[in-house]
Amino acid sequence: MMPRIGDIAPDFVANTTKGKIKFSDFAKDKWVVMFSHPADFTPVCTTEMSGFATRKSEFDALNTELLGLSIDSIHAHLGWVQNVRENTGVYFDFPIIADLDMKVSKLYGMLQPNESETAAVRAVFFIDPKKKIRLIMYYPLNVGRNMDEILRALEALQTSDKHGVAMPLDWKKGDKAIVPPPKSLDELNARLADDSVEKVTWYLAKKSLN
């Protein structure tokens, strides 16, 4: 069965452009954004991988390691990384799994045969430091992802954890967050009397995080 939100990320060993990794030993105490792309040397994938590469410092700042994957060989990965570096100056300085036997793609439900039997879809798994899957995105072969949204979602997850709040529509850093709604009449009455939060109504209240 495909892993779902809340599951512990399935463990695996894989060859990557940065050497062999065992996932359970990878990025200790860090978040991982693990993502697949359909194929090396293809145009949309090149834009996406370049997006991850050029914004890597933003992932670093969020204590997050990047881990790419496609159903290609290490040689194809190396050739593509070098080709993009030569042509654009962008260097994919994070491990990319060479999943030639489709082991990891199948384990994570990245191979969705009605979309393609040979190429992984564009999946993104957000995995927390306890290796729990916290958010999953799937995009088809013909539409690239949105890097602003990937970073926004990562920061929203981390902010939610840190402050015990939930994030409203379009939340971004600096915006107010939603405080948990009351679970009893006592809590409801306390919420009504609480002027420190911005209340739309008793079950929808927001507060500033700084």
Binding region: 122
- Minimum CB separation of residue 144 from ligand BEZ in Å reads 8
141 sits near ligand BEZ (criterion: CB under 6 A): yes
Edge-to-edge order in the sheet of strand 31-36: 19-22, 13-16, 96-98, 64-70, 31-36, 122-127, 133-139
Q: Which of 6, 19, 43, 89 binds ligand BEZ (CB under 6 A)?
A: 43
Q: Catalytic residue, from 9, 33, 45, 49: name it.
A: 45
Whether the CB-CB separation of 67 and 94 falls below 8 Å is answered with yes
- The residue among 97 and 178 lying less far from ligand BEZ, judged by its C-beta, is 97
81 sits near ligand BEZ (criterion: CB under 6 A): no
- Of 65, 36, 32, 59, residue with least CA distance to 48: 36
Q: Which of 42, 112, 158, 160 binds ligand BEZ (CB under 6 A)?
A: 42
- Known catalytic residue at 33: no
142 sits near ligand BEZ (criterion: CB under 6 A): yes
The single-letter code of the amino acid at 9 is: A
Whether the CB-CB separation of 81 and 90 falls below 8 Å is answered with no
Give the residue ranges of the annotated binding site for substrate: 122
Whether the CB-CB separation of 6 and 103 falls below 8 Å is answered with no
What residues act catalytically? 45
Task: Write out the residues near ligand BEZ by the rule CB under 6 A.
Answer: 38-39, 42-45, 119, 141-142
